[in-house]
């Protein structure tokens, strides 16, 4: 282990990564650089700096990555209308490639030999962090303590923390939150404890971002979202930066009880896992983006995107954001978005996002002179439909004639 002189640790300042920090110093006898990413989790990050200083860390990175996260990761994913297994909007998955990217950048900046993370050996995040790291630096060494140490229970972690003078918040000493949570600007997730029984309903006081639909306002609220090249650029006529726009949609969606999800999903490592998610802003954006695409995308292009989306979603869920196949597919997706320009009006009401209007002054493929139920003045010749139907039925008619002869 002496070949590792310096390690960059993805560090939150919580129990797990605080233990990992001291464990790396003890077991690897190495210098540790801490990296804490602000991706909109809504927590005070300065305490992480103070905890790192307490254990002699000299190089401490606390980076505001909120705009980059939404602009370069969330929005590209939403251009594809990405949903994993029909429901999950990939809030945790899409944050991992950015963290992996920054870990590698810091390792290069500080001449570190390795990176380290606090993902467990049962989950998806170890795969996502490490696939991303290897894609960006094929020679990087990765230390995953959960796959090396024997601190495999909460009690052992707490005992190690107490023995080594690691500050532990009082909530941990009292048993702590019943859930394992992960938050960023796109979502907040809940796993563990009570939720490990798939038959048990999630407790109402678990949810942090959204009111229950039953308690949402009785009056609907309308929003207008403007799109340029498939990305939202303004809300109710006000231009906003990507992270500002998503944060505001989270606030509005949460107010109306939008974006709750209770899901049993298939992890990449092979097991099923039950998780609950709140993704209010993302739920609004998915609905609005599909609405503006319905107006501006060619039928076959739209259907091709829908065919490819589940595969694209699996790439992100499984950790292949930096893979050549994801990059190739992204190029195709982004090409389709050149004409996705215009605005969408949605109504928020008691857990629902209802599209009430959409328009594109420059790229709408909706031709009212052809689609009208009124007199179209010859724009569409109804007689053409007869030949169209007969030709499309030809193979079935031939098969029918053969059956009749038998």
pLDDT of residue 168: 75
Q: How confident is the model at residue 169 (pLDDT cuts 50, 70, 90)?
A: low
* Residue found under tokens 């590698």: 104
* pLDDT tens for each residue of 355-396: 999 999 999 999 999 998 998 888 899 999 999 999 999 999
Choose between 57 and 172: higher pLDDT: 57
Domain 6-176, CATH homologous superfamily name and number:
HUPs (3.40.50.620)
CB 363 within 8 Å of CB 340? yes
* Runs of H (alpha helix) within 187-273: 242-255
Judged against a pLDDT cut of 90, whether residue 15 lies above it is answered with no
pLDDT of residue 155: 84
Q: How confident is the model at residue 174 (pLDDT cuts 50, 70, 90)?
A: very low
Judged against a pLDDT cut of 80, whether residue 245 lies above it is answered with yes
Decide if 96 is catalytic.
Answer: yes
Mean pLDDT over each residue of the chain, to the nearest integer: 94
Q: Which two tokens stand for residue 374?
A: 């009124």
* pLDDT tens for each residue of 298-323: 999 999 999 999 999 999 999 999 99
Judged against a pLDDT cut of 80, whether residue 240 lies above it is answered with yes
Candidates 16, 79, 189, 260; catalytic one: 16
pLDDT of residue 173: 45
* pLDDT tens for each residue of 251-264: 999 999 999 999 99
- The tally of CA atoms less than 13 A away on the side-chain side of residue 271 is 8
Polymer length in residues for the chain: 406
Candidates 66, 96, 326, 358; catalytic one: 96
400 contacts: CB under 8 Å, gap ≥ 6: none
CATH code for the part of the protein at 183-297+340-359: 3.90.1260.10
CA–CA dist 270, 386 (Å, integer): 52
* Residue found under tokens 């215009």: 342
Q: Which two tokens stand for residue 4?
A: 């590792």
Q: How far is CA 248 from CA 145, 185, 242, 280, in A?
A: 37, 10, 10, 10
Candidates 12, 18, 116, 125; catalytic one: 125
CB 85 within 8 Å of CB 263? yes
Candidates 38, 180, 364, 376; catalytic one: 180
Decide if 125 is catalytic.
Answer: yes
Question: Of 182, 232, 194, nearest to 345 (Cα)?
Answer: 232
- Where on the phi/psi map is residue 273: left (φ > 0), alpha (ψ -120 to 50), or beta? beta
Judged against a pLDDT cut of 70, whether residue 171 lies above it is answered with no
3-state secondary structure of 390: helix
* Residue found under tokens 């678990």: 206
Q: How confident is the model at residue 2 (pLDDT cuts 50, 70, 90)?
A: low
Choose between 107 and 152: higher pLDDT: 107
* Chain mean position to CA 317: 9
- The tally of CA atoms less than 13 A away on the side-chain side of residue 319 is 20
Mean pLDDT over 82-88 rounds to 98
pLDDT of residue 172: 44
Share of the chain above pLDDT 70, in %: 97
pLDDT of residue 44: 83
Q: Which two tokens stand for residue 264?
A: 């049993």
Question: Of 314, 331, 244, nearest to 82 (Cα)?
Answer: 314
pLDDT of residue 178: 59
Q: Which two tokens stand for residue 37?
A: 């990413």
Q: Which two tokens stand for residue 21?
A: 């920090």
* pLDDT tens for each residue of 125-144: 999 999 999 999 999 999 99
Q: At what angle do helices 280-296 and 299-318 cross, to 10 degrees?
A: 150
* Runs of H (alpha helix) within 256-323: 280-296, 299-318
- The tally of CA atoms less than 13 A away on the side-chain side of residue 1 is 12
Of the spans 41-45, 373-377, 395-399, which averages the highest pLDDT? 395-399
Share of the chain above pLDDT 90, in %: 87
User: What are the residue ranges spanned by the domains of the chain?
Assistant: 6-176, 183-297+340-359, 368-405
Q: Estimate the share of the chain in helix, then strand, then coil, as percent rounded to the nearest 5.
A: 45, 20, 35
* pLDDT tens for each residue of 269-301: 999 999 999 999 999 999 999 999 999 999 999
């Amino acid at each position: 282990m002496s070949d590792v002189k310096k390690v960059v640790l993805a560090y939150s300042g919580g129990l797990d990564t605080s233990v990992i920090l001291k464990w790396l110093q003890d077991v690897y006898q190495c210098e540790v650089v801490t990296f804490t990413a602000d991706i909109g989790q809504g927590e005070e990050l300065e305490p992480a700096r103070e905890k790192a200083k307490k254990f002699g860390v000299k190089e401490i990175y606390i980076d505001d990555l909120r705009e980059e996260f939404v602009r370069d990761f969330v929005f590209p994913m939403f251009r594809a209308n990405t949903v994993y297994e029909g429901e999950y909007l990939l809030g945790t998955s899409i944050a991992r490639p950015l963290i992996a990217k920054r870990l590698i950048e810091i390792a290069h900046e500080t001449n570190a030999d390795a990176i380290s993370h606090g993902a467990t050996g049962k989950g998806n995040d170890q795969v996502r962090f490490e696939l991303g790291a290897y894609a960006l630096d094929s020679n990087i060494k990765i230390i995953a303590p959960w796959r090396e140490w024997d601190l495999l229970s909460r009690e052992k972690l707490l005992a190690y923390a107490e023995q080594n003078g690691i500050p532990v918040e009082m909530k941990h000493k009292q048993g702590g939150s019943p859930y394992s949570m992960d938050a960023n600007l796109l979502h907040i997730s809940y796993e563990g404890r009570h939720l490990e029984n798939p038959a048990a309903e999630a407790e109402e006081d678990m949810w942090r971002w959204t009111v229950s639909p039953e308690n949402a306002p009785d009056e609907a609220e309308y929003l207008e979202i403007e799109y340029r090249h498939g990305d939202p650029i303004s809300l109710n006529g006000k231009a906003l930066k990507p992270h500002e726009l998503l944060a505001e949609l989270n606030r509005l969606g949460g107010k109306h009880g939008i974006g709750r999800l209770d899901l049993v999903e298939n992890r990449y490592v092979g097991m099923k896992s039950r998780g609950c998610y709140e993704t209010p802003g993302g739920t609004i954006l998915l609905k609005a983006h599909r609405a503006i695409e319905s107006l501006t995308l060619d039928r076959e292009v739209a259907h091709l995107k829908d065919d490819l989306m589940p595969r694209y979603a699996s790439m992100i869920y499984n950790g292949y954001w930096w893979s050549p196949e994801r990059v190739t597919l992204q190029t195709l997706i982004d090409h389709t978005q050149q004409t996705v320009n215009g605005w969408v009006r949605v109504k928020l009401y008691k857990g629902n996002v209802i599209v009430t209007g959409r328009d594109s002054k420059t790229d709408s493929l909706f031709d009212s002179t052809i689609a009208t139920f009124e007199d179209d003045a010859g724009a569409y010749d109804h007689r053409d439909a007869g030949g169209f139907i007969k030709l499309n039925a030809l193979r079935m008619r031939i098969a029918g004639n053969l059956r009749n002869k038998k």
